[in-house]
Amino acid sequence: MDGQELKIKTRGFDCRVYIRNDLLGEVGRALRLLFPSGRALLVSDQNVYPLYGDRVIESLTAEKWRVKTALIKPGERSKTLAGAKKLYEACFEAGLDRNSPVIALGGGVVGDLAGFVAATFMRGVPLVMIPTSLLAQVDSSVGGKVAVNHSRGKNMIGAIYPPRLVFVDPLVLKTLSLRQFRAGAAEVIKYGIIEDGAFFRRLEEEFDRLLAAEAGFLAEAVAAAVRSKARVVEKDEFERDYRRILNFGHTIGHALEAATAYRYYLHGEAVLIGMVLAVSLAEQLSYLDPAPAGRINRLLGRLKVKKPPAGLTAGEVIAKLEHDKKRRRDELVFVLPNQIGSALMVPVNDKKTIAAAINCYLGGNLNFIEKGTDN
Ligand SMILES: NC(=O)c1ccc[n+]([C@@H]2O[C@H](COP(=O)([O-])OP(=O)(O)OC[C@H]3O[C@@H](n4cnc5c(N)ncnc54)[C@H](O)[C@@H]3O)[C@@H](O)[C@H]2O)c1
């Protein structure tokens, strides 16, 4: 297969990631080489399947796969145990055995839910990911975290269960909404800041091409981001320590999402704000010099930060941070960049400094907050 191919070594087996424009027609043949069963379940959502389902099904049936399709409603609300239960029924109806793959065609919601089902059906059947959102291509499809939500919290029931194969076709991003694309782009920049300084410089030079979703550059950027995540995951698959640098921007980002009941921000939008505020903390606490901080802010600022919802207070955001802290042995740990391409985990318990950073955003004092409506 042309394009980029990389292997991620995990505890169980190698996960192969193929990255190439126009890749969907290859799925059937690649699966045939790995799995003898000939039966599969394809999980997708009602937005993605009409766009790309036929191409994947054609490629599978051309290789004599017997495929059952299960579609979920788009969006976070489908990522539940009830949703998983419906998919277990579909697994039985598809006649899956322990070697039959579950194939996830969609964004992070489809990937997390189908991945959870693959991890648990018959104690685990092979998982194949075909991520179709930018966030899923550079983040959720690689790394092996699968989960469903519980009424007490997001992603509370889950496992580490890496896919066997991941097919990343950046061309499918053409149909993604601009808002979703920009939210994913925030995660792309994240890798440049915390792990790959050369990639950060490339993004500084070519950011317009990324934002324009230019096919050639998009494939390069997605591949660099996936490689970066793969390096981190290979060092620490089970998030004992180093992998937590991937949570850069997530401490405040999660708190913003939770304080707004997961309705106002997309995940990547909240993480973008979290990254900007973490850079400000890193500078104030003298972990990061002003010059790299300025460069990071200039790049992040090109995505424009979503303005805060009316009435949200720093106290409400900090209350959500505190809730997180209780779950993590009473310590608030931030991932702070210490130079471009590297980050540290730093306990920060000075609430005044944290509140000042949050108020800088809530008070409208960041110079790249978007104008316009609340949605
Ligand atoms: N497992 C992990 O490591 C990990 C990491 C980050 C996020 N996540 C999870 O990922 C989820 C968010 O993922 P997401 O941002 O992809 O959201 P999503 O799956 O809801 O997709 C966003 C929207 O875009 C649509 N869409 C997807 N691809 C499209 C395409 N090519 N063309 C047109 N429309 C398309 C979807 O139907 C949906 O409406 C959350 O549940 C989050 O918890 C998981």
What is the strand order of the sheet 14-19 is part of? 4-9, 14-19, 165-168, 127-131, 102-106, 39-45, 66-72
* Residue nearest ligand 1's atom 18 by CA: 107
* Candidate of 46, 72, 135 to mutate for ligand 1, largest count of ligand atoms within 8 Å of Cβ: 135
* Residue nearest ligand 1's atom 10 by CA: 108
38: left (phi > 0), else alpha (psi -120 to 50), else beta? left
**pLDDT value at residue 21:** 94
Domains parsed from the chain with CATH numbers: 4-174 (3.40.50.1970), 178-362 (1.20.1090.10)
Q: CB of 101 within 8 A of CB of 91?
A: no
Query: Three-class SS of residue 304?
Result: coil
Query: Which residues of the chain are modeled with pLDDT < 50?
Result: 373-375
Q: How far is the CA of 106 from the centre of ligand 1 (A)?
A: 7
**pLDDT value at residue 330:** 67
**Short-list 41, 13, 17, 25, CA closest to 227:** 17
Check if 48 has its Cβ closer than 6 Å to any atom of ligand 1: yes
Tokens of 80: 């539940």
Check if 47 has its Cβ closer than 6 Å to any atom of ligand 1: yes
**260 contact partners, CB below 8 Å, separation of at least 6:** 309, 312
Q: How far is the CA of 267 from the centre of ligand 1 (A)?
A: 9
**pLDDT value at residue 375:** 45
Terminal C-alpha separation, the chain: 41
Distance CA 362, CA 309 (A): 9
pLDDT tens-digit map of 272-329? 999 999 999 999 999 999 999 999 999 999 998 999 999 999 999 999 988 876 566 6
Q: How far is the CA of 184 from the centre of ligand 1 (A)?
A: 9
Tokens of 301: 């600022």
* Candidate of 24, 47, 146, 175 to mutate for ligand 1, largest count of ligand atoms within 8 Å of Cβ: 47
> What is the CA angle 248-200-254, rounded to 5?
20
- Which active-site residues does the annotation give? 123, 145, 187, 229, 239, 243, 247, 250, 254, 267
Check if 109 has its Cβ closer than 6 Å to any atom of ligand 1: yes
Q: How far is the CA of 355 from the centre of ligand 1 (A)?
A: 30
Q: CB of 268 within 8 A of CB of 183?
A: yes
Phi, psi of 234 (to 5 degrees): -65, -35
Q: CB of 285 within 8 A of CB of 349?
A: no
Check if 225 has its Cβ closer than 6 Å to any atom of ligand 1: no
**pLDDT value at residue 351:** 87
**pLDDT value at residue 372:** 58
**pLDDT value at residue 2:** 59
* Residue nearest ligand 1's atom 44 by CA: 140
Q: How far is the CA of 41 from the centre of ligand 1 (A)?
A: 19
**91 contact partners, CB below 8 Å, separation of at least 6:** 41, 102, 117, 121, 125
